[in-house]
Amino acid sequence: MEAVLSELEVALGHGFSRPELLTRALTHRSLANEQALEKGDDQPSGDNERLEFLGDAVLGLVVAEAMFLLHPEWQEGELTRVRAQLVSRQHIADVAASVGLGRHLLLSRGEDRSGLRRKGTVLSNTMEAVIGALFLDGGLEPVRAFIRRHVIGEAAEQLARELRSGDALGNYKSALQEHLQAARSGTPVYKVKCESGPDHRKRFLVEVRLKPEDGEPGRPLARGMGSTKKHAEQDAARRALARLTAGNNRADDTAEYPEEEESAAQ
């Protein structure tokens, strides 16, 4: 185990003074449950889920700080868009794969045989747990160094080029989905509420709602209008993203889209 941890410490760029933190970060709940059953314990303990919670918060903070300092010319929307991509599950899973995290995971025998160590969600969750362990063991500096090297790296420069070219700015649907994904709130669902006008001058009113991971489309986020369904969806996503980043999360807040605008579209 010490040799395995040493190999991972090299990849992380940090030697742990409390290696038990790294072991905990690598321990999937399936192994904790398996060990509890073998010992006859009713309360499994020792998995990485608490560290994952902490690491998620630390990751968001350090990425936000880095983007804020590296790009003083960016406005809130640009900072939000890039941060959402950098902390997304897919990107963090890619980071985990790049440091070989999968082969260090501590899984139950059954889950190991099922190929769980290659699953993106498990990799991203474990990577966040490891970031939480890094923070507890060494503070923010080793976390900043790791995130600058592996999480931001060339990815941030590519996103910056997209922003400068305008390729990323107009895709509000992607930005909204990434924002919700980063917050683990669910996925956006779009529905045409009404349409009006002749074929050559159509107007569409679209509502975007939040769909939790395990439920039907829930509370409305915003509405948008456009000459095509796609344009209306982009407008709705833009409004929703603006509200969410401003901290306005009230489900019943429709003041941003007056009733007379909906009437005009009918």
Largest CA distance in the chain: 72
- Look up 42 and say whether it is catalytic: no
Tell how many helices (H) and how many strands (E) occur in the chain.
Answer: 13, 3
3-state secondary structure of 252: coil
The CA distance from 171 to 31, in Å, is: 41
Which entry of 56, 78, 178, 233 is annotated as an active-site residue?
A: 56
3-state secondary structure of 67: helix
Which entry of 52, 78, 111, 128 is annotated as an active-site residue?
A: 128
Query: How many Cβ atoms sit within 10 Å of the Cβ of residue 45?
Result: 11
Structure tokens belonging to residue 166 = 């305008």
> Are 160 and 87 in contact, with CB atoms under 8 Å apart?
no
Please name the residue that has the structure tokens 């923010």: 140
State which H helix or E strand residue 173 sits in: helix 172-183
Angle at which helix 49-70 crosses helix 76-86, to 10 degrees, equals 140
Structure tokens belonging to residue 175 = 């930005």
- Look up 38 and say whether it is catalytic: no
Active site residues: 56, 128
